[in-house]
Amino acid sequence: MRHITFITTGGTIEKTYDEHTGFLTNQHSILSKILNTLRLPDSTVSQRNVIFKDSLDMTDIDREIILDITRQSMTVSDAVIILHGTDTLELTGNLLYREIAKPLCPIIFTGAMRPYEFRDSDATQNVIEALFAANLVPPGIYVAMHNRLLAFPGVKKDRENLTFISES
């Protein structure tokens, strides 16, 4: 039985519509809604809700918190998956790459270009891809999105095509 820890930080993937304000905001995690639709017979999953922010609003302190929780989680997990906003995912990924010299397990970032609540969201696909990658790759820092698995460093958001690419 593999144990996977999810760390949630907000971002577009977890934005929900607030009927009172008319805005999409990060109020709570949607991860359990996605996981409840999947069959994961060989895995146990834990969830650590860390931050509920758009990644454009993240600070260096927020990134340090994600780093600390990741360090803790990788000691008790076979993989760590981080739900993160796409706009600054590469900043947090590069921080983890610099600060975690020898990851104990795969650490995989994922997110979405459209919120989970949107009919045409890429959220479920990306979570599934991150889960699948967690079973296949050696310890390292990665992003799994849009049928791609990219290793840090050198991961960049391709803002024109709304996906991630590797500059390496």
Neighbours of 51 (CB within 10 A): 22
What pLDDT sits at residue 16? 66
Q: How far apart are CA 137 and CA 116, in angstroms?
A: 26
Neighbours of 20 (CB within 10 A): 5
Instruction: Name the residue among 34, 46, 6, 22 with its Cα closest to residue 117.
Output: 34
pLDDT digits (tens, 9 = 90+) for 114-144: 877 768 888 889 999 999 999 999 999 999 9
Q: How far apart are CA 32 and CA 34, in angstroms?
A: 5
Q: How far apart are CA 10 and CA 148, in angstroms?
A: 21
Domains of the chain: 2-166 (3.40.50.1170)
pLDDT tens, residue order, the chain (168 aa): 999 999 999 887 776 666 777 766 667 677 888 888 899 999 999 999 898 888 888 999 999 999 999 999 999 999 999 999 999 999 999 999 999 999 999 999 999 888 777 688 888 899 999 999 999 999 999 999 999 999 999 999 988 888 888 986
What pLDDT sits at residue 54? 82
